[in-house]
Chains A and B, each alone.
Chain A
C-alpha cells in the first residue's frame, strides 16, 4: 500500500487547491483561546462541542440545536458573538476568560449546567471552538475589562446612598421598588430575539447568572447584559457610587446573608419615615 511520491504530491496539491478555492466555506479560523493559564485550540474543542454542546447550541452554533425548542431561556446563539456575562464594556467582545468562566460556572436557573466535569484544558478548547462561529473574533479584539476598584467597607450610609441611586437611575422601572422584578416596564421586556424576558428578582434566588460575589454584581450593571434590556451604567456611575449600589442591592436579598441587609434591617427598626422608592415619579 505504498503511494508513489508523485501521487502523494498530487493529492496534497489537490487538497491545497480545494482549501484555497473555498475560503468562504471554511466557517472560521481558529483564533485560539487563552484562559486559566492555558491555550485552547478549536480543533480540539470541536469533539467536545459535538458531544456535549451541539444538542442545544446546534451544529452551526446558532442556538438552534434539537433541544432548543424545549428550552427557555434559549441557548446562546454564538453566531452573533453577543454575550451577556462579560467583564468588558457594552458593545465589545468578552474576554476568553469570561467565556471560560461561564462554561465553568454554568448558568443558574437555566438548562446550562456547570462544565466542571470537563478538564480546564477541555473547557478552554471549547472557548476556542465557540469563537469559530463568528468572524467578529477575527476582526475585533475583546474590550478592555472594566476596572473594579477594591470594595469600600459596608456602612449604613453607603447602603442609603445606594438606595438613592437605585431610585434616581430608576432601576425600579424594571426591577420594581422592592427588587422583585415587577416594575412598571417589566411585563413588556423582550430580549434581542423578541422573546419575553424577566428582570432579575432579588428576592428569589441567591446567585446571579454570572456569579455570586459583590464584584460580579458590580460588573452586571457597569457592563450591562448585551442582548437583553439591561443597559450599561458605566457612564452614569462613579466607582464609589457603583459600590454604594452594590451594598443597597444586597439588602433586597432575604436569602443571602450580608452585612448590608443586617445594617438595613437595624435601620428600618428605628426609622419609620423612609421615603418609598419611585415616590418622586408617581403622578409626575
Chain B
C-alpha cells in the first residue's frame, strides 16, 4: 500500500517537474503596460571623465553622463526592470542569446535582462582592452579580460539575481545583468514606459526594480486584454 502511494507521489512529482521544464502552458494573450516615474529629488548624474582613455573620450562629445538614475521628461525613469515575481508558472528557457556590447567604453545596454540559463554573449567593439567583472553573490563570480579583437564571451547564469558588472580598467563602465526566473518582463525605455506581452490570464505579483531606488511591488490581474500597472519610486539624493 505504502509503496503504491510512494510511486504515485513520485509520478506526480515527475509529471509536475516535466510540465515546468517543457513549459506546458498556453501562451497568454494579455499585456501588462505601465510607466515608471519618481517623486522627490534624484541624484545628479555627472558627466563621465574618460580622459584616461583618449580613444573613448573623443567618441563622446559632450561627455555621456552616469546612468544610475536616468530621468526623463515628466519625471519618468528609464532602465527600470518590471517583471512577474509571483504567480508565473514558468516556461522553457529561451535558447536565443541576449547580447551585451561594449562600445566607446560604454555598456549597451546599461541594464540587460535575461532569463536564468539563457545564453549571454558579451561583445567588444573597442580597440582598447576591457575586463568583464560581474560580481554576483548567488552565481559564480569571475573576471575575464577581453582585449581588442577578442571573440565574444559566452556565459550563462543559472540563478535569478541582480548582478552588478563592471570593467576595472575603466571604472565608469558599470551596469547590471538582471537574471530572472520568468519570461514575462519589460524594461522601461526613454519615455519611462514598459510592456510585458503574452501574459496568460491570472493574478500576479509585479515587481519593478531600479538600481538606485530599489524595488516596488503591486498585484495585477490580467484577463485577456491590457492590464495597467504604473510604478512611482521615491528618489533621494545620494
Q: Is B141 an interface residue (CB 8 A)?
A: yes
**Are A169 and B142 interface neighbours, CB within 8 A?**
no
Shortest distance from the beta carbon of A90 to any chain B beta carbon, whole Å? 4
B129–A227 CB distance below 8 A: no
A170 → chain B closest CB, angstroms:
4
From A82, A169, A189, A232, B168 is in contact (CB under 8 Å) with: A189
- With CB as the reference atom, state the residue of chain B lying closest to A82: B141
Q: Is B220 an interface residue (CB 8 A)?
A: no
Contact B143 A169 (CB under 8 A): no
Q: Which residue of B lies closest to A282 (CB)?
A: B54
B167: min CB distance to chain A, Å:
9
Give the complex CA separation of A190 and B135 in angstroms: 13
Query: Which chain A residues in 163-197 approach chain B with CB under 8 Å?
Result: 168-170, 173-174, 184-185, 188-190, 192
- A90's contact among B135, B137, B143, B146, by CB below 8 Å, is which? B143
- DSSP class of A's interface residues: helix, strand, loop or mixed? loop
Given contacts A184-B52, A235-B144, contact A229 B153 (CB under 8 A): no
B131 touches A231 (CB 8 A): yes
Residues in B with CB closer than 8 Å to A230 are 143
By the criterion CB–CB under 8 Å, are A235 and B128 in contact? no
Per-residue contact bits, chain B 139-170, to A (CB 8 Å; 1 contact, 0 not):
01111111110100100000000000000111
Is B131's CB under 8 angstroms from A236's CB? no
Q: Is A92 an interface residue (CB 8 A)?
A: yes
Q: Which of B131, B137, B141 contacts A229 (CB 8 A)?
A: B131
Map CB proximity to B onto A229-242 as digits: 1 under 8 Å, 0 otherwise. Answer: 11111011000000
A284 within 8 A of B: yes
Contact flags (1/0) for A87-111 with B, using CB distance below 8 Å? Answer: 0011110000000000000000000
B128 surroundings in chain A (CB, below 8 A): 170, 281, 284
In the complex, chain A residues whose CB is within 8 Å of the CB of B131? 229, 231
Q: Does B60 contact A (CB under 8 A)?
A: no
Chain B proximity mask over A128-162: 1 for CB below 8 Å, otherwise 0: 00000000000000000000000000000000000
Residue of B nearest to A221 (CB): B145
Contact of A224 among B54, B129, B144, B147 (CB under 8 A): B144
B173-217 contacts to A, CB under 8 A, are: none
Is A122 an interface residue when CB atoms closer than 8 A count as contact?
A: no
Say which residue of A80, A90, A170, A188 sits within 8 Å of B142 (CB atoms): A90
| Residues from chain A with Cβ under 8 Å of B146 in the complex | 236
Is the interface on chain A under 10, 10 to 19, 20 to 34, or 35 or more residues? 20 to 34
B169 touches A185 (CB 8 A): yes
Contacts A192-B135, A236-B150, A281-B55: A231 and B170 contacting too (C-beta < 8 A)?
no
Q: Residue among B129, B137, B170 with the most chain A CB within 10 A?
A: B129
A91-B140 contact in complex given A169-B147, A284-B127, C-beta closer than 8 Å: yes
**Interface check A125, CB cutoff 8 A:** no
- The answer to whether A168 and B143 touch across the interface, beta carbons within 8 angstroms, is no
A226 to B131, CA, bound (A): 12
| Smallest CB separation, B213 vs chain A (Å) | 20
Q: Which residues of B contact A283 (CB under 8 A)?
A: 54
Complex Cα gap A226–B133 (Å): 9
Is B6's beta carbon under 8 Å from chain A? no
Q: How far is the CB of A249 from chain B (nearest CB, A)?
A: 15
| Contact of A185 with B54 at beta-carbon distance under 8 Å, contacts A82-B141, A236-B145 already known | no
CA distance A92 to B169 in the complex (A): 23
Contact A236 B147 (CB under 8 A): yes
Question: Shortest beta-carbon distance, A19 to chain B, in Å?
Answer: 26
Could you tell me the distance between the alpha carbons of A173 and B150 in the complex, rounded to whole angstroms? 17
**Known pairs A232-B143, A235-B144; A173 contacts B153 (CB<8 A):** no
B171 within 8 A of A: yes
CB under 8 Å from chain B, chain A span 241-284: 281-284
In the complex, the chain A residue whose C-beta lies closest to that of B142 is A91
Using CB atoms, name the residue of chain A closest to B127. A284
Contact B144 A185 (CB under 8 A): no
In the assembly, what is the distance between CA of A205 and CA of B147, in Å? 28
B171 x A185 contact (CB < 8 A): yes
In angstroms, Cα B125 to Cα A246, docked, is 28
Which 6 A-B residue pairs are closest in the complex by CB-CB distance? Answer: A91-B142, A229-B168, A170-B129, A231-B131, A231-B145, A90-B142
Q: List 22 A-B contacts (CB under 8 A).
A: A80-B137, A89-B142, A90-B144, A91-B142, A169-B145, A173-B129, A174-B169, A185-B168, A188-B171, A190-B168, A190-B171, A224-B144, A227-B141, A229-B131, A229-B168, A230-B143, A231-B131, A232-B142, A235-B150, A236-B145, A236-B150, A281-B54
